Structure 1
Amino acid sequence: MALKDWFEPKDAHPAPRSGPVRVGWLLNEQRSGVVYYPPERIRSAEVNRNHAKSASRCPAIINMESRYFMIRAPYDLHLRFVRDDKGKPGLRNMNGDASPVRGNVLSKKLHLTAEHEWRYADRPTVQISLPYTFIADEPVFMTQLSAFMHYTKTPLPGTIFGGRFAINNWPRPLMWAFEWHDTAQDLILKRGQPWFYVQFETYPQDRSVSVVEAQMTPELEGFIDHTSAAVNYVNQSFSLFKDAERVRPETLLVPVKR
């Protein structure tokens, strides 16, 4: 069955599915994996439930939050946007020798996008490569977005790029992409702070979501390799969804046994 048939069923009475939709998460590389936090379900309902009319007891709020999972920042960063004497843009690590992240490691994770690829001429785009990968064995769309339900005393000097794609046919490592609006302000991240959310869409839409840690099986690794880096070769990688679906192994999500 094609992906669109799940989310836009032509049958007036499609066969209903019940029970939680299981979503798997894993790190596509285990080196230094201990520094990365596991996804956390948003639970403001635990804040205050004493009053019957408390927002923490509102079913609409509880239902919405149940579909959002938070990722925390794995390390401290203090970056400044600079230009050299020829006007070439760059990033300066303001932590210097006090930085908890070694420079050679940071250079592999942190990227300043080429200036001609910025959406706006005055807004640099910074990307941080991440090992987080989410998968499912039935149609699930995942959206990556900012941590808008968590208050930050010092807001970031820009916005993150959100993104939405099907994790059952297009599993790929996430990337944190940041559009730097106010380049006069430094970009500062603290380890452990709420960094971004992932949100899951299911069919039927009222099904709950269960997120479990998954194994990197040979089948999953091969499928990720098959679909990875497609954006380097085509402009509209979503056009490849059907091709990916045809070669997808029947099972990708194998939970980790503890």
Structure 2
Amino acid sequence: MDITLTFERPEDGPETGPVTVGWFLTSDKGAVLYDPPERLIQRPPNKAHAKSASRCPAVIQLESRYFMVKCPFDLHIGFKRDDKGKAVLVNRAGAASPVRGNKLGDVIVLMNEAEWRYPDRPTVQLLLPYCFIADEMVYLSQIGTFAHYRPDPLPGTIFGGRFPLTVWPRPLMWAFEWHAPDQDLILKRGEPLFYVQFEAVDPTRPVQLVEAERTPELVAYLEKIGGVANYVNQTFGLFKAAEAMRPKRLLVPKKRE
């Protein structure tokens, strides 16, 4: 299938300077919980030696192109099957959990067992409101936190993904494939949850990340492309149609008072 996109602004000529990418939350509900994405920087950097990795151009180039999203919740979740064999999540923290039991389903969900990639690896999704947008062609890649050391590794891996955020802005969820479901999944608020990388047509251009206004035009466009995965199997085949109905400008940097 040919899904080559032609998104461009020919009257502007070739793009130069930093690539501007906007981030925003799809809802203001509980917005105080969600920290702004941060550029990946390994601290504390040792720059005393000329050959320090902190001064290596390749390391600096790599880190400058990733942004980190932090976990907004403290969660201690287990997996089990009930007396009917149905897969269920267990709130191991019980009454001590910062997230109320009746709100846990608003935060993390266990995917339908028929949709797991492997029958012995449950898949869970952490529901998040983070969304990104750009007014020139930019691809977003969501990946695991390869630069973050965990004394107690997660009992599985996260699903990555890559898509053109310019025409397909969508809330990013954290999808986890539970390789060792006999081990609990423990997430801590403030720890790195995932990284995002942005790719423009010209890979040499740096990325400038700004908070974006959730304008009526942006909200309307999100509504037009939202939820379509429930009705078609190959959403990438809708990119051309989405591009045709996309307003020319969607990224409006948020003004600071």
TM class by shorter chain equals: over 0.9
CA RMSD of aligned residues (A): 1.5
Q: Report how far residue 104 of structure 1 moved.
A: 2.4
Match of 1:236 in 2: 234
- Whether the 8 Å contact between 1:126 and 1:178 is mirrored in structure 2 is yes
Match of 2:110 in 1: 112
The amino acid across from 1:204 in the alignment is D
The correspondence of residues 1-258 of structure 1 with structure 2, limited to 5 A, is 4-5=5-6, 16-44=14-42, 47-258=45-256
- CA offsets 1:39-95 (integer angstroms, 9 cap, x no match): 000123761111111111111111111110001110100000010111110000011
Unaligned runs of 5+ in 2: none
- CA offsets 1:149-208 (integer angstroms, 9 cap, x no match): 111111100000001111110011111000000011100001111111011111211000
Q: Distance in 2 between matches of 1:190 and 1:73?
A: 7
The amino acid across from 1:150 in the alignment is H
Q: Report how far residue 5 of structure 1 moved.
A: 4.6
Q: Report how far residue 37 of structure 1 moved.
A: 1.1
Q: Distance in 2 between matches of 1:38 and 1:120?
A: 34
Match of 2:186, SS? Answer: strand
- Whether the 8 Å contact between 1:20 and 1:208 is mirrored in structure 2 is yes
The amino acid across from 2:67 in the alignment is F
Deviates more, 1:105-114 or 1:67-76: 105-114
Q: Report how far residue 105 of structure 1 moved.
A: 2.1
The amino acid across from 1:84 in the alignment is D
- Whether the 8 Å contact between 1:24 and 1:255 is mirrored in structure 2 is yes
- Cα separation, partners in 2 of 1:45 and 1:62, compared to 1, 3 Å: farther
Q: Distance in 2 between matches of 1:174 and 1:232?
A: 16
The amino acid across from 1:86 in the alignment is K
Identity within the alignment, %: 58
Q: Distance in 1 between matches of 2:48 and 2:179?
A: 41
Deviates more, 1:136-145 or 1:104-113: 104-113
TM-score by length of 1: 0.94
Match of 1:65, SS? Answer: helix
- Whether the 8 Å contact between 1:135 and 1:168 is mirrored in structure 2 is yes
Spell out structure 1 runs of 4+ moving beyond 6 A. Answer: none
The amino acid across from 1:36 in the alignment is Y
Match of 2:58, SS? Answer: helix
Q: Distance in 2 between matches of 1:174 and 1:231?
A: 14
Q: Report how far residue 4 of structure 1 moved.
A: 3.7
Q: Distance in 1 between matches of 2:44 and 2:55?
A: 9
The amino acid across from 1:76 in the alignment is D
Match of 1:24, SS? Answer: strand
Q: Report how far residue 3 of structure 1 moved.
A: 5.5
- Whether the 8 Å contact between 1:3 and 1:139 is mirrored in structure 2 is no
TM-score by length of 2: 0.94
